[in-house]
């Protein structure tokens, strides 16, 4: 009822080796035997045993998506959730499953252990810093892909730039930035874009660090109001942060966008439905995750920057529209 390669070979009148060649790696085979094997396989409803195959090929069975952060509940972050799901769907046809794991900031030992895991088909890393990517254990090279700076990344400089330009265009002149954590490689580009624009406009920089929680977003907003009370716009590099800031501003009796405009980053589902609706930048997270996953499997995925396109909604001031 369940047939193996041997049976297919027998029916096709060839050796298992030949059958294997046509069914798997597409090794050399005459047109005749190829046809015979294919026919036999078809007729028997042959399905290769993925585990046996993976053992023989020394190729793993799952990729792990490792997210580095100081908080373990980063695994519930909307970005992580979306990316994980996208990978799980994208790798299904490859007979490869995905595992999700949290890594502390100091994760050298964990990576070492991962590199010794022969069940690992590939690793997708998020939340890395420059250091980490440069010093991957040898066993991980060639089967690791990163999401964010240095890997499958979004053109965050463009996205943040567009958002800030818009703030400037609608008359904001005292624009503060809630940046990402400094240990994160992906934090650099947005800060760079911000600084470039602010300086070009002859304005002074106002930067506070946040993370990906709304709590910190609220705290950051309060810090900004305290330190620079005349701030008229806050750009956050995460939607959760922006939402937290929105809450803090409301609590402080500051009107958005009248008094202070706010922008986020990533366009999580929440962004459009929040009140007021959040202006942010939208990203093809599913595509990014799928690209990273395939790269982790060793596929040659062209390294490109994914688009970061601004979405202007209520919190931005000016009239709502998409750039």
Stretch that binds a second copy, among 73-81, 190-198, 218-226, 227-235 (CB under 8 A): 73-81
Residue 169, classified by CB atoms within 10 Å of its CB into exposed (0-12), middle (13-18) or buried (19+), is exposed
Tell whether residue 200 is a contact of DNA (CB under 7 A).
Answer: no
Mask of contacts with DNA, 29-48, x by CB under 7 A? xx-xxx-----------x-x
66 DSSP 8-state letter? E
**Max CA separation in the chain (angstroms):** 84
The rounded distance, in Å, linking the Cα atoms of 209 and 99 is: 30
- Smallest separation (angstroms) from DNA to the CB of 52: 3
Tell whether residue 100 is a contact of a second copy (CB under 8 A).
Answer: yes
Tell whether residue 139 is a contact of DNA (CB under 7 A).
Answer: no
Residue 15 interacting partner from a second copy, DNA, none (CB closer than 5 to 8 Å by kind):
DNA
Residues 6+ away with beta carbon under 8 Å from 62: 96, 97, 98, 99, 119, 120, 121
Tell whether residue 52 is a contact of DNA (CB under 7 A).
Answer: yes
Q: Contacting a second copy (CB under 8 A), which of 38, 81, 168, 222?
A: 81
Consecutive H or E run containing 9: helix 5-12
Residue 127 interacting partner from a second copy, DNA, none (CB closer than 5 to 8 Å by kind):
none
- Smallest separation (angstroms) from a second copy to the CB of 120: 9
- Smallest separation (angstroms) from a second copy to the CB of 199: 34
Residues 6+ away with beta carbon under 8 Å from 42: none
Tell whether residue 116 is a contact of a second copy (CB under 8 A).
Answer: yes
Tell whether residue 284 is a contact of DNA (CB under 7 A).
Answer: no
The rounded distance, in Å, linking the Cα atoms of 116 and 92 is: 24
Give 114 or 189: the residue with its C-beta nearer to a second copy. Answer: 114
In this structure, what is the dihedral angle of CA atoms 235, 237, 242, 243, given to the nearest 10 degrees?
A: 160
Tell whether residue 142 is a contact of a second copy (CB under 8 A).
Answer: no
């Amino acid at each position: 009822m369940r047939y193996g390669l041997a049976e297919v070979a027998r029916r096709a009148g060839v050796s298992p080796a030949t059958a294997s060649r046509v069914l798997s790696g597409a090794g050399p085979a005459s047109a005749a035997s190829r046809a015979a094997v294919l026919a036999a396989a078809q007729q028997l409803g042959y399905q290769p045993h993925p585990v046996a195959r993976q053992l023989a090929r020394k190729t793993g069975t799952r990729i792990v998506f490792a997210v580095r952060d100081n908080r373990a509940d980063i695994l519930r972050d909307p970005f992580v959730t979306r990316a994980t799901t996208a990978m799980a769907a994208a790798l299904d046809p490859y007979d490869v499953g995905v595992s999700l794991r949290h890594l502390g900031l100091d994760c050298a030992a964990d990576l070492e252990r991962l590199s010794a895991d022969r069940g690992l088909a590939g690793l997708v890393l998020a939340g890395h810093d420059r250091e980490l990517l440069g010093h991957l254990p040898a066993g991980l090279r060639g089967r690791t892909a990163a999401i964010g700076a240095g890997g499958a990344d979004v053109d965050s400089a463009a996205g943040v730039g567009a958002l800030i330009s818009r703030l400037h265009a609608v008359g904001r002149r005292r624009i503060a930035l809630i940046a990402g954590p400094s240990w994160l490689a992906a934090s650099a580009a947005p800060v760079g874009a911000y600084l470039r624009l602010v300086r070009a406009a002859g304005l002074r920089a106002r930067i506070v660090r946040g993370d990906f929680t709304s709590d910190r977003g609220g705290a950051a907003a309060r810090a900004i109001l305290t330190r620079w009370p005349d701030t008229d716009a806050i750009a956050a590099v995460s939607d959760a942060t922006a939402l937290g800031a929105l809450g803090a501003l409301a609590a402080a009796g500051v009107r958005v966008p009248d008094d202070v405009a706010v922008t986020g980053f990533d366009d999580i589902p929440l962004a459009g439905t929040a009140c007021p609706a959040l202006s942010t930048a939208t990203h093809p997270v599913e595509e990014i995750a799928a690209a990273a996953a395939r790269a982790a499997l060793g596929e040659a995925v062209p390294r490109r920057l994914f688009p970061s396109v601004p979405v202007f909604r209520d919190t931005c001031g000016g009239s709502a529209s998409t750039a």
